[in-house]
Structure 1
């Protein structure tokens, strides 16, 4: 599959046509997905649109090798996971596809990365190996033309001083941080920087009590002196990200789409504005599996945007491995 076609998608007709091509390719070349589809009894001749494509439970990345053919991976990304629990592993056969995906998506939503100072507050990601988020942020910092770009780990005073200097210099600034670390920062520091883009990546990582998104964003807006909080939605098993520029409403790049499924019947899809499980089509995942049923709950809207409302209480689907037994 020519990835130039994937990253040049401009309408639903092109998205559907390429989705069907990718589906047929992955059924043949991704052994786990092929067995999963076969054991569901799916008649491939009846898969005529992307809504008919079956979605692989994302939990398979914890127990199976989800890869097309057997090529050596350029990179292996892994999830953070709770201690003692299995981690997802994503074997990325061609890292250039991931790079193209996140660079094009950022350009689409925020413009030229080079004009931004990129500040990162991602301690839980920095302190482990195999984070796809750190890989992306490292590249963003490298592409930035601002000398103040970089990581701050737990040095909140240095971050505050840098934000103050960038505000005074009127340099466009993006602060990307894991949720608990941003909260830790505003517990001890505050700044009025209305032009700042604060982007939270989600997750308390067991560090703080979970709170509602509206409350979280109110606290962060007050602490940073910004009108809205931006958000990034991505995961180890994907090679694309969706972005929210406020209110927790996410938009996908043209090669990615979110659909909701019935929580009681995972093969049935829901209409817009109904709450259900989040299914994702990520066509950048050409070398693994592009059709994934996640553990998130949410709803979609008519313009293609979506909202995340929570997660399944027991997110590991018991016995799902039976569906890939030969």
Structure 2
């Protein structure tokens, strides 16, 4: 079954695999099964992807969302503020995650060995529970380039490295949290020719929040690049969407975005309307592949999507089933 997840080629393939994954998780995931039972939805009633129930993402904070009896190999945790509940994603097959992000990166950017990967992120030892840091740590190793590495605490060395790689014409990926990228361009301006700048979000508590367009304009000017790329991922997912500019994201073939009505959480909207973001991530085979997130967004006719903001808790309606 897991092989077929990464061999999806057509919408019909996606539908067939998604319905099989739904049956598997309905049968093997106690939390998800309880949620489906409360909605009186059984796999025998479901013939379309849009009819599959989406589990509210908050369950990853309060329940063990797992569809496997295998031993847990990794536990990814969200970075919460002190005292707040963090999400936990229990991963029984770490190779599924590796296959997902390596194939996803290759799908959009080509062979990782073509890039020097520079990370403006806390390194693996500092932030062990981060799925993003785990992925970037592995991409750094897989790049097989001696200059690849984490540079969060050394902006001067990073600036020097960027200039050297630029001069040599090396293909470079600089991936980092927004506040650290801003710190770097405030310290030094660049004119980079072969570098992809990819921001992963992350301003909370570090700087005043600014809108994406403003952030990207500052970074474009500071790095001397035409576009700023972005990564859309979260603790609860094992796949990522990528944007090569203007905050418009694409997903790999085993991931799909739908939007739900903000007043009625069970109603799926047509493309083009703003709503709550629902994610199907078939790589989440051993947890839950059907998740109602707290992001607000819009899907374009060609299937690309953008994130417009987040619900605050008072805005989440139709989720009173969450108090299982």
Identify the range of structure 1 (4-13 vs 118-127) with the bigger mean alpha-carbon deviation. Answer: 118-127
Pick closer, same or farther for the CA change 1:29–1:250 going to 2, 3 Å: same
Compared CA separation, residues 139 and 152, structure 1 to 2 (3 A) = same
1:143 aligns with 2:133: no
Equivalent residue of 2:313, what SS? coil
Residue 3 of structure 2: aligned partner = 4
Which residue in 1 is equivalent to 2:34? Answer: 35
* Deviation at residue 195 of structure 1 after TM alignment: 2.2
Q: Are 1:121 and 1:181, in contact at CA under 8 Å, matched by a contact in 2?
A: yes
Correspondence for 2:44: 45
Matched residue of 2:198: which SS? strand
Would the aligned equivalents of 2:265 and 2:317 in 1 still touch at CA under 8 Å? no
Cα deviation, residue 184, structure 1: 1.1
In 1, the alpha carbon distance for the partners of 2:214 and 2:141 equals 33
Cα distance in 1 between the residues matched to 2:152 and 2:144: 21
User: 1:98 deviation in Å?
Assistant: 0.2
Aligned twin of 1:129:
128
1:97 is the counterpart of 2:113: no
Distance of aligned partners of 1:257 and 1:322 in 2 relative to their CA distance in 1, 3 Å threshold: closer
Distance 1:124 1:162 in 2: 17
Superimposed CA distance per residue, residues 128-172 of structure 1 (whole angstroms, 9 cap, x where no aligned partner): 330001110111110113211101012111010000000011110
Report if aligned partners of 2:262, 2:316 keep a CA contact under 8 Å in 1.
no
Q: Which residue of 2 aligns with 1:82?
A: 81
* Structure 1 stretches lacking a partner, 5+ long: none
Give the 5 Å matches for 1:98-247. 98-123=97-122, 127-247=126-246
For residues 6-39 of structure 1, the C-alpha deviation after alignment (integer angstroms, 9 at most, x for no partner) is: 0000010000011000001100100000000001
Cα distance between partner residues in 2 of 1:253 and 1:102: 10
> Partners of 2:284 and 2:145 in 1: how far apart?
31
Residue 25 of structure 2: aligned partner:
26
* CA–CA distance in structure 2, aligned partners of residues 289 and 120 of structure 1: 29
The Cα offsets for residues 41-73 of structure 1, whole Å up to 9 and x where unpaired, read as 124322101011010000000000000143211
Distance 1:40 1:316 in 2: 21
Aligned to 2:273: 274
State the partner residue of 2:302: 303
Paired residues, what number?
324
Listed as ranges, the gaps of 5+ residues in structure 2 are none
What's the secondary structure of 1:260's corresponding residue? strand
CA displacement 1:294-324 (0-9 Å, x = unmatched) = 0000000121110000000227969968547
Give per-residue Cα distances to partners, 1:189-242, cap 9 Å, x unaligned.
111003210000012131011111111000000110100000000000000000
Judge conservation of contact 2:264–2:318 (CA < 8 Å) in 1: no
Partners of 2:258 and 2:279 in 1: how far apart? 6
Using the size of structure 1 for normalisation, the TM-score is 0.96
The question of whether the paired residues in 1 share the 8 Å contact of 2:123 and 2:150 is answered with no
Name the counterpart of 1:15. 14
| 91-100 vs 188-197, greater mean Cα deviation | 188-197
CA contact (8 A) 1:39 1:323 kept: no
Aligned residue for 2:283? 284
